[in-house]
Amino acid sequence: MTATPSHAQNSPAGNAATASANSNPLLASWAGPYGGVPPFDKVQVNQFKPALEAAMAENLREIDAIANNKEAATFENTIVALERAGQRLDETRTVYGIWSGTLSSPEVQAIEREMSPRMAAFSDKINQNEALFKRVEAVYNSPEKQKLTPEQQRLSWLYYNNLVRAGAKLDAKAKTRLSEINQQLAGLFTKFSQNVLADETDSVLVLKTTADLAGLPASLQADAAAAVASRKLTGAGAITNTRSSIEPFLTYSDQRKLREKAWRMYYNRGDNGGAHDNNAIITDILQLRAERAKLLGYKTHAHWRLDNTMAKTPEAAMKLMEQVWTPAVARVKEEVADMQALARKEGAGADFKIEPWDYRYYAEKVRKARYDLDQNEVKQYLQLDKMREGMFWVAGELFNFNFSPITSVPVYHPDVKVWEVKDKTTGQHVGLWYFDPYARPGKRSGAWMNAYRNQERMDGKPVTTIVSNNSNFVKGKEGEPTLISWTDATTLFHEFGHALHGLSSNVTYPSLSGTSVVRDYVEFPSQVLENWLPTPQVLQKFAVHYQTGKPIPQALVDRIEKASTFNEGFATTEFLASALIDMKLHLAGDQKIDADKFERETLAQLGMPREIVMRHRTPQFSHVFSSDGYSAGYYSYLWSVVLAADAYSAFTEAGGPYDKAVGQRLTRNIFSIGNTVDPAQAYRNFRGRDPKIDALMKERGFPMTAKKASAAPAKPVKKATGKKS
C-alpha cells in the first residue's frame, strides 16, 4: 500500500508523469510467458524517476477512488480494492530495487537520494488518509466481518493494524511531524547504504607479490588473481571488501600484517571519517526513531517494532538472547585458550595474544589438529553449481518441485540465470526462480532473497510467484567451477529456504502471501532448510570433487559431523553481540548516542571477548540502518533458529529428514500459508506444541541452564497489533 502527494494527479508534473507512461516500458504491464515477466532488457536508468512519479500518481487516484466511494464500506469495495491498487507501482519499484541493490551506479544513487524521501511522503499520504482509514476501520469493526473467511478476517486485521501503527489515529499536527520524520529517515537510510557500498566498492587489498599469497589454497589464489585482473590493478592478487572474499583470506593467509589490513578494511566500513562515515547518520536515525515511537504512543522504537512480532516485547527477546549469551561467551574463552596453546606450540612468543584478525586463522588450525578437518579440503567437494542442484533435489523431495533452466525471459545481467519451477506430479507451473550468484561493483554485499511477484488468486485465477536468490561469490576463471566454503553452502541453502517459502505459497490475497510474515518468523523457513545440507542424500549425490567427480568420503563427512559444534562460541557470540547492540540502541530512547562510544562501552559491560568483533558493527549495520527492516529485530535470527532447530527435531524424531508425513505437515502449516494464520498458532499446528530451546542448545553444544530454558512465544496480547515488516 503506497501513496503520493494529492496534487500530483492534476498538476503539470503529474500530467507530464502520466503522459510519460505511454513511452516508458517500466509502466507497461509485465508481458511475455509465465503470466508476464519483468522487462529487464528494456530498462534505462533515466526511466526510473518518471516511472515512479507516474506510478505513484496512478496509485493515488486508485486510493482516492476507494476512500471517496459513496457506498458503505465492505470487504470487497475497500480491502480487496486496496489489494488490487498499486500494481503498476509495485512492478516499477521491484525493477528499481534490483538496480539499487545489484547494479548501483552514480546515476542510480542520485535517483535514490531524490526519490527516497518523496516515496516516504507518498506512503504517509495513504497511511494518514482519514477517509480511507474510516472505511478500513468500518470493515474491521463490522459485525459482518464474522461472515468472512478466516483469511479475509486476517487481511482486514492486517490493513487496520498497519494503518494504526503507521499513525492513522494521530491528530493533524502529529501526522505532519510523523511524515517529516519518515522523509528524513528515508534520506538517511539511503545515505547510510550508499556510504557502506562506497567503502565496499572503493576499498581493495592488493597482494603485491606471490609472498603475499602465502597460506592461501589454490582456489583462493585463483580468485585473488581474477579480482586483480577484473579491477585492472597491478599485483599478484586482490582481496575485495566483501564477506565472501575477506573471511577466506582471514582463515588461510599466513601473513599476519595483511590479515590485519584486510580485517580493518572490512570491519571499518562506514567508520573511516570523511564523506562516507556513518556515525553521525546513526545518531540522527536513532533520535528520529525515538521521536516517532513516542508520537505513536510507544515507550521506545524497540517496543513499537516488537509489538506485532512473535516475541511481542523487547524484554522477551532480551531474555532469549541472555540465555544463550552466557554459554556462548564461556565457549569463546575455551576456544581462545586452545588457539593460544597452539600458537605457543608453533613458536609464538610468550606475549603473543590472539587478535580479532587471528581468530579464524587459528581456529582453522585447531580444527585441523583436533578433528583432522581442513575446511579447504571440504571446499574441493562444494561446487556452486552442484550445490544448487542439491538444493533443487531437496526441493523435489520435500516440496515436490522440479526446476528446469529457461532462456526465454530477459535478465538484468549476464550472470543471472532463470529456472521454471513445476509440480513434479502434475507438471503444473509454480513460478520462476532467478539466481544472481556473483559479486560485482555496484552490488551490495551479502546474500538475500527477493520476491518480484507474489503468489495470489484474488480474482479466481492463479497468479504465480517470481522469486530470486542473490549472493556474492567470487567468480573464478571462465570454464572453472566456483568452489564455496561449508559456511557459504549453508547460506546458499538458507536463502533458498526463503525462495521455497515464496514458491510454496498457496493463499488468496497477495498481502498475505509467501514471506509476508512478521520479522522474527520470516527467518524460520530459511533457517530450517539449512539442516538438509549435511544429510547423506545431499552429500553423496552433489558434494563431489571438482576434479575427480568422486563423492565426498564418508570419513570426511564423519569429521564434519564430529566438528559440527566447533567454533560455535565464536559464531554465536559475534551474532549475539550485534543483536544485543541493536536492541540496546533502540531501548535507549531519546538519548543522543555516539555510536562508536555506545558500541564500545556496551560491549564492555556485556563482557564481550576482546578477540571477537560484532558480526555487523554499527557503522555498517545495514540490516538496522539502511531501512527500518531489522531495526530492534536482528534478534529475529536467533528466535527463528530456535524454531528451526525444534522443527527439525520433528523429522529426526520421526522417520528422518525426508519423512514424507512430517514434510507434508511442514508445507501445509508453515511454508504454504503465508500470513493467513498467526505464526505462533501456525507453529503449534505443525509441532503440536510451542517451541523449546533445547534443540538449539544441543545443536550448538551448549549446556542447558539449571532452570529449564524456554522459547515459547508470548501469549498474544488483546490489543490488536500487526504490520508487515
Domain of 78, CATH number, reads: 1.20.1050.40
Rounded CA gap, 342 and 338, in Å? 6
The neighbouring-strand residues paired with 450 are 468
Judgement on whether residues 573 and 632 belong to the same structural domain of the protein: yes
Taking the CA atoms of the chain, what radius of gyration do you get in angstroms?
A: 25
If the chain, 725 residues long, is cut into consecutive pieces of 10 residues, what is the mean pLDDT of each piece? 31 41 86 97 97 97 98 98 97 98 96 97 97 98 96 98 97 98 98 96 96 95 92 95 94 97 98 96 98 98 96 96 96 96 92 96 95 92 98 98 98 98 98 96 94 95 97 87 94 98 98 96 97 96 97 94 93 97 97 96 97 97 96 96 96 96 97 97 96 92 62 38 28
- Name the active-site residue from 495, 523, 599, 699: 495
Judgement on whether residues 359 and 331 belong to the same structural domain of the protein: yes
Residue 20 falls inside a structural domain: no
DSSP code string of 145-203? GGGS-HHHHHHHHHHHHHHHHTTTTS-HHHHHHHHHHHHHHHHHHHHHHHHHHHHHHH-
**Whole-model pTM above 0.85?**
yes
**Domain with 68 in it:** 30-169
Contacts of 630 (CB under 8 A, 6+ apart): 519, 582, 623, 624, 636
Give the CATH number of the domain where residue 580 resides. 1.10.1370.10
Contacts of 121 (CB under 8 A, 6+ apart): 3, 5, 179, 182, 183
Judgement on whether residues 388 and 476 belong to the same structural domain of the protein: yes
pLDDT of residue 264: 98
Judgement on whether residues 433 and 512 belong to the same structural domain of the protein: yes
Q: Which one of 118, 146, 169 terminates a domain?
A: 169
pLDDT of residue 705: 60
Give the CATH number of the domain where residue 460 resides. 3.40.390.10
247 is catalytic: no
Q: Give the 3-state secondary structure of 347-394.
A: CCCCCCCCCCCCHHHHHHHHHHHHHCCCHHHHHCCCEHHHHHHHHHHH
Judgement on whether residues 424 and 510 belong to the same structural domain of the protein: yes
Residue 263 falls inside a structural domain: yes
Residue 109 falls inside a structural domain: yes
pLDDT of residue 476: 77
Supply 470's cell numbers. 542473490
Contacts of 106 (CB under 8 A, 6+ apart): none
Tell me the three state secondary structure of residue 464.
coil
Judgement on whether residues 367 and 409 belong to the same structural domain of the protein: no
Judgement on whether residues 328 and 366 belong to the same structural domain of the protein: yes
Judgement on whether residues 391 and 480 belong to the same structural domain of the protein: yes
Residue 724 falls inside a structural domain: no
Tell me the three state secondary structure of residue 418.
strand
Is residue 648 within 8 A of residue 524, CB to CB? The reply is no
- Which helix (H) or strand (E) covers residue 81, if one does? helix 81-84
Contacts of 481 (CB under 8 A, 6+ apart): 383, 384, 385, 386, 546
Judgement on whether residues 346 and 387 belong to the same structural domain of the protein: no
Residue 123 falls inside a structural domain: yes
Judgement on whether residues 576 and 664 belong to the same structural domain of the protein: yes
State the Cα torsion 161-167-171-174 to the nearest 10°: 160
Residue 555 falls inside a structural domain: no
Distance between alpha carbon 723 and the CA centroid of its chain, in Å?
Answer: 17
Task: Look at the chain and report how many structural domains it folds into.
Answer: 4
Judgement on whether residues 160 and 35 belong to the same structural domain of the protein: yes
Residue 125 falls inside a structural domain: yes
- Which pairing describes strands 401-406 and 417-423: parallel, antiparallel, or unpaired? antiparallel
Judgement on whether residues 356 and 391 belong to the same structural domain of the protein: no
DSSP code string of 240-259? ESSHHHHHHHHHH---HHHH
Residue 634 falls inside a structural domain: yes
